[in-house]
Amino acid sequence: MRNVFYSIWNLIKSRQNSSKAMVHPKKHLGQHFLTDQHTAQKIVNFLPDGVKNLLEIGPGKGILTQYILEKQIPDFQVIEIDKESVDYLSNQFPTLQRRIIQDDFLKVDLRYLFDDKFAIIGNFPYNISSQILFRVLEFREQVEVVVGMFQKEVAERIASPPGNKKYGILSVLTQAFYQIEYLSTIKEGVFFPPPRVKSAVIRLKRNQVEQLACDEKLFFEVVKTAFNQRRKTLRNALKKFRLVEDQNIVNLLDQRAEQLGVQQFIEITRALK
């Protein structure tokens, strides 16, 4: 059914002889264009005041971009992988032209884009939303704020507190470095073509943690291993690490991954050394 949607749309568009100004939705790039102005404006308004450097990921046809431009942010750049969208944007927004990076967000070295820390905004391509988050974590010294639209289910996972089925690897890793706010649920109908699932906007704000109080690589590893066997107690799930069970962590090991917060994963990681 969905493929039919894309095919018909692309057929109609290819028959209109105005390809210059068109963007055909491409499934493999996760292109679902927001069509509702009110929603677009609302998302842009979730940016905190005073943002000086901003990167929009996947502007597409620029529905968010137009409202961002109104904010006159001193250094605003967009990164878009799709050439057709880039051409469209340059046509529609001449003032944006030199601020469009045609590239893959997952491959760009984010340290060199701005002079200082920056914020990220976007209706993210859902096929790479986890990878976008991991990229943000990798460059967390540069990325202060993220206002992003994700699949609702992913947004809920990121924002979920411990003790909840939705709580998982992404929640712990992002919550270690960002404070998360779930802001708004968005229905399928405001996109074209409509996605299969609901969406949600969340905001991530960098917390004060510069370095975790434990070996960070090991922490990531522990969290992943713990959740890969989330039904087991941590004592069993983490067997391969040969835990030294001191007083501090005995109680933690009786629990399951989803019951532990960031601090407790740090305690366990410290006990591995």
Both tokens of residue 111?
């340290």
Which parts of 94-151 fold into alpha helices (H)?
129-138
Peptide bond into 193 cis (omega under 30): yes
Using rule CB under 6 A, residue 82 touches ligand SAH = yes
Instruction: Using the rule CB under 6 A, give the single segment among 23-31, 138-146, 159-167, 212-220 that binds ligand SAH.
Output: 23-31
Q: At what angle do helices 129-138 and 169-177 cross, to 10 degrees?
A: 30
Interface pick for ligand SAH out of 60, 199, 234, 266 (rule CB under 6 A): 60
C-alpha radius of gyration, the chain, whole number: 21
Using rule CB under 6 A, residue 54 touches ligand SAH = no
Interactions with ligand SAH, residue window 85-124 (CB under 6 A): 85, 104-106, 123
Nearest to ligand SAH of 80, 258 (CB atom): 80
Interface pick for ligand SAH out of 47, 54, 64, 89 (rule CB under 6 A): 64
Which residues make beta-bridge pairs with 102? Answer: 80
Cα dihedral 70→74→80→84 (10° resolution):
50
Nearest to ligand SAH of 40, 260 (CB atom): 40
Q: Give the residue nearest to ligand SAH (CB).
A: 58
Instruction: Using the rule CB under 6 A, give the single segment among 28-36, 140-148, 162-170, 197-205 that binds ligand SAH.
Output: 28-36
Max CA pair span of the chain: 73
Q: 183: closest CA among 163, 143, 155, 162?
A: 155
For ligand SAH, the binding residues (CB under 6 A) are: 29-34, 57-61, 63-64, 79-82, 85, 104-106, 123, 125, 128
